[in-house]
Structure 1
Amino acid sequence: MADWTDELPQAAREYLEGKRLDEVECIIADLPGIARGKALPASKFAKQKHFHLPDSIFYQTITGDWGEAAGETGFIEQDMILVPDMSTASAAPWTGDWTLQVIHDAYDREMQPIPFSPRNVLKRVVAAYEARGLTPVVAPEMEFFLVARNTDPGQTIQPMMGRSGRPAAARQAYSMTAVDEFGPVIDDIYDFAEAQGFEIDGITQEGGAGQLEINLAHGDPVQLADEVFYFKRLIREAAMRHNCFATFMAKPIAEEPGSAMHIHHSVIDRATGRNLFTGEDGGETDAFYHFIGGMQRHLPSAIAVLAPYVNSYRRYVKDHAAPINLDWGRDNRTTGIRVPLASPEARRVENRLAGMDCNPYLGIAASLACGLLGLEEQQMPEPECTTDSYQSESDVPQVLGDALDLFEEAPKLHEVLGPEFARVYAIVKRAEYEEFLQVISPWEREHLLLNV
């Protein structure tokens, strides 16, 4: 076994130093971003080069139902070939034994990438940049809530009980005292992240009750998506150790702000090594404006990927810490597209529309795809918004059904993400939406039962 463990990433080797590896979790993200796969004894993992799962895992809705997306062959659940990417080998430090997780890539029988596997979708978009001599760079920000355990879906979600014995309080953004309330959970998050070799750029209290934000250092889009995928599991496990839940729902508590996955983008010109958004004089380039212009034109069609559930659209509320339109502005947090304060070398564009409930591979892929289309089309954006963008009209879809309509009618976006992915995604999400429409909500029973 030493043959392959010697080649593990440094953090994984340090985690196992002096220990006996018991198990390897072979995992892959499905469309919602749930980890699917198999757990193998370490001795068996050492002897195999791949394993199989049926392609139907990508046809499942979040409820476990199925979209009719199997194509011409019908629903025969063909096996995919899942090949480990050993650069992703990472500790699972919350387990009772010594366990590693390894993310796998999905291929068909001809060893062609499965086009609707989310990690492959993101790789396709990155390859489209590379074919043009460009390297995309991203930095995601993860917002989430720590909430009281909720075992009855009929009950509203409540803030968790803090260290003080009082429920987490809202409107305490950036408060260190508020962060201290969750100290034991945060300590485990840091410990787990260190064991997995992840660099946390910072952690802050956000505006919601029990809402935190973790920032990750900028880097390669696939690697950062892997980290967000891992982090969601890591944070959930840390929370459950302390009798609370971590939730990445876009809007878990009605009166509180929602949770976003803000995505910062820059692009490196490989020929020069320079930030494509910054000229030799330090000023903003045409490419910088074209990237923003592409986001303004194409993000409406990508919202169904960035906001993938009916709950996602409850986040887009005026004056509630989430954008309602596609305005852009410098250092303006009311706009959907923000240019943060930064040196010329670090000039970047932030997409504030993505919810934390999106699949990180697909959210980053869709956001980068919109910017790439802008670089190709070379059209300038609308004039900069220098005031409160909430005073402007909303121009993003308000419900998932409308967002899916726009997504299904976006051939340019499909070409970048992959037409087969777009077909499968639309079918699965449409099935999920139609399933939701059959549910009668408490609001309907309360206000319609005896009044209409």
Structure 2
Amino acid sequence: MSTPEWLAHAPAHARAFLEGRQLDEVECIIADLSGIARGKAMPAVKFAKQTHFYLPSSIFQQTIAGDWADDGDAAFLEPDMVLTPDFSTTRAAPWTADWTMQIIHEMSEQDGTPVPVAPRNVLKRVVSLYTERGWKPVVAPEMEFYLVARNIDPTQPVIPPIGRSGRRAAGRQAYSMSAVDEYGQVIDDIYDFAEAMGLEIDGILQEGGSGQVEMNLRHGDPVKLADEIFYFKRLIREAALRHDCYATFMAKPIQDEPGSAMHIHHSVVDAATGRNLFDGGDGTETAEFLHFIGGMQKHLPSVIALLAPYVNSYRRYVRDFAAPINLEWGRDNRTTGLRVPISDPESRRVENRIAGMDCNPYLGLAASLACGYLGLVNKLDPAPQYAGDAYDSDDGAIPRDLSAALDIFDAATEMHEVLHPRFASIYSSVKRLEYDAFLQVISPWEREHLLLNV
């Protein structure tokens, strides 16, 4: 049984998964603007004989509904981009019937420059700005999602799944071990898939919603963590399908239940020494720590369209539903949009609680890091720390619908330079097309309250 030469460049967990087995298929994938895996699947023998392949760059102009936005630059030509495998991202696809590997690919123009609209490249661009200044950003994401009953009719509301007790999952059971056990078979498969893929889980717990789960990842490199979230979303969906339910990462899938967030913990270390720039060495907070918060307070409004990318995203920003409605900051205060968790000085960090789990992980991390970067570079001071219930301080900084968020994003030229102007243009075009499509849909609420009353 021959082993493909390229597997020598793959991580040990991928080689271990295939030990004594014949590789059948390789999935060559990238993430589009929505975070959907797109690419090609091919026989392993064919993959071993090629160094790259092509996909049209118009992939990044496709909306979540499958429509195509105009990029204003000879879109009809649909030029190809060059995809080359990043072998460090090789991971098993343990849910498939045959022996399959997934590999995330690098995306470049035909002249070799990175495709500026590709979400993974946007994140790499932001990380490189830190690197140029001798800094190394560190992130630790938290993933929230719902397990829900199968929903094959979009006109019907989403409902919680039936657990092993025969009853539907109940809400307001945060941190309950018995609530997690209700769908323990799904959780078991998530652990098994993650182990086969070499993915590390820091912990899993029951959140406050009916069937809502939170999964924590350990801290690390932003690109690596974004790759892992990209993979995790797929494996979690596959684990749920095995047990006759869906996993959804919608920001607000169930009426009157809490939304699902992707909280992002941030720190920045000196690349040469490994010292946390937020810690003064004697337990004190540094100016850099405050500047990072100041950058988030000033610039987060301009990237809400990336952190909350769909019309449904804004249903999460509701007072007292475990979601922030402000950009205040505070220590160990979950009512603020920016929280400083309890930690030892070396682990001092800032938690961004604004991002929804429906955001593209590459773009969510890029946007959040970009805000902190601008705060560090421009030495921005934050507002005073908020003490008390920050729900009493709706500062109006967070736009409450996608259209308003896009207006702010379009005007944020300083942010465009960080993310890339070309990306900003395409992203806005795609999201405005999605918003226009949404406006054509008449909801049950409108029919119920307006049809005969206005």
Superposition TM-score tier, normalisation by shorter sequence: over 0.9
1:386 maps to 2:387: yes
1:260 maps to 261
Q: CA deviation at 1:195?
A: 0.3
1:182 maps to 183
What code does the residue aligned with 2:106 have?
D
Q: Indicate the percent of aligned positions where both proteins have the same amino acid.
A: 69
1:320 maps to 2:321: yes
Deviation by residue 1:104-144 (Cα, 9 ceiling, x = unmatched): 11111101100000000000000000001000000100000
What code does the residue aligned with 2:22 have?
R
Alignment partners' CA distance in 1, 2:287 and 2:275: 14
2:426 maps to 424
Q: Secondary structure at the match of 1:40?
A: strand
Q: Secondary structure at the match of 1:274?
A: coil
Q: Secondary structure at the match of 1:275?
A: coil
Q: CA deviation at 1:7?
A: 2.4
Alignment partners' CA distance in 1, 2:375 and 2:118: 25
Alignment partners' CA distance in 1, 2:281 and 2:361: 33
What's the RMSD between the two structures over aligned residues?
0.7
What code does the residue aligned with 2:452 have?
L
Alignment partners' CA distance in 2, 1:278 and 1:399: 37
TM norm structure 2: 0.98
Alignment partners' CA distance in 2, 1:256 and 1:265: 28
What code does the residue aligned with 2:248 have?
T
Deviation by residue 1:295-315 (Cα, 9 ceiling, x = unmatched): 000000000000000000000
Q: CA deviation at 1:320?
A: 0.3
The runs of 5 or more residues in structure 1 that have no matched partner are none
Alignment partners' CA distance in 2, 1:162 and 1:74: 49
2:125 maps to 124
43, 51, 54: which one pairs with 2:53? 51
Runs of 4+ in 1 over 4 A off after TM superposition: none
2:332 maps to 331
- The answer to whether the 8 Å contact 2:296/2:368 transfers is yes
Matched ranges for 1:220-259 at <5 A: 220-259=221-260
Deviation by residue 1:405-448 (Cα, 9 ceiling, x = unmatched): 00000011111111110011011111111111111111111100
Alignment partners' CA distance in 2, 1:299 and 1:162: 39
Alignment partners' CA distance in 2, 1:2 and 1:86: 13
Alignment partners' CA distance in 2, 1:131 and 1:312: 34
1:409 maps to 411
Q: Secondary structure at the match of 1:266?
A: strand
What code does the residue aligned with 1:41 have?
P
Matched ranges for 1:46-85 at <5 A: 46-69=48-71, 71-85=72-86
Alignment partners' CA distance in 2, 1:379 and 1:136: 18
- The answer to whether the 8 Å contact 2:57/2:81 transfers is yes
Q: CA deviation at 1:72?
A: 2.5
Alignment partners' CA distance in 2, 1:157 and 1:366: 30
Q: CA deviation at 1:386?
A: 1.5
Alignment partners' CA distance in 1, 2:258 and 2:281: 40
Q: CA deviation at 1:76?
A: 1.4
TM norm structure 1: 0.99
1:3 maps to 5
The runs of 5 or more residues in structure 2 that have no matched partner are none
1:13 maps to 2:11: no
- The answer to whether the 8 Å contact 2:204/2:215 transfers is yes
1:273 maps to 274
2:107 maps to 106
Q: Secondary structure at the match of 1:200?
A: coil
Deviation by residue 1:320-359 (Cα, 9 ceiling, x = unmatched): 0000010000011111000001110000000000000000
2:452 maps to 450
Alignment partners' CA distance in 2, 1:264 and 1:92: 28
Alignment partners' CA distance in 2, 1:403 and 1:256: 24
Q: Secondary structure at the match of 1:291?
A: helix
Q: CA deviation at 1:380?
A: 1.0
Deviation by residue 1:352-388 (Cα, 9 ceiling, x = unmatched): 0000000000000000000000001112100111211
1:218 maps to 219
Alignment partners' CA distance in 1, 2:451 and 2:312: 23
Deviation by residue 1:222-241 (Cα, 9 ceiling, x = unmatched): 00000000000000000000
Number of residue equivalences: 451
- The answer to whether the 8 Å contact 2:4/2:48 transfers is no
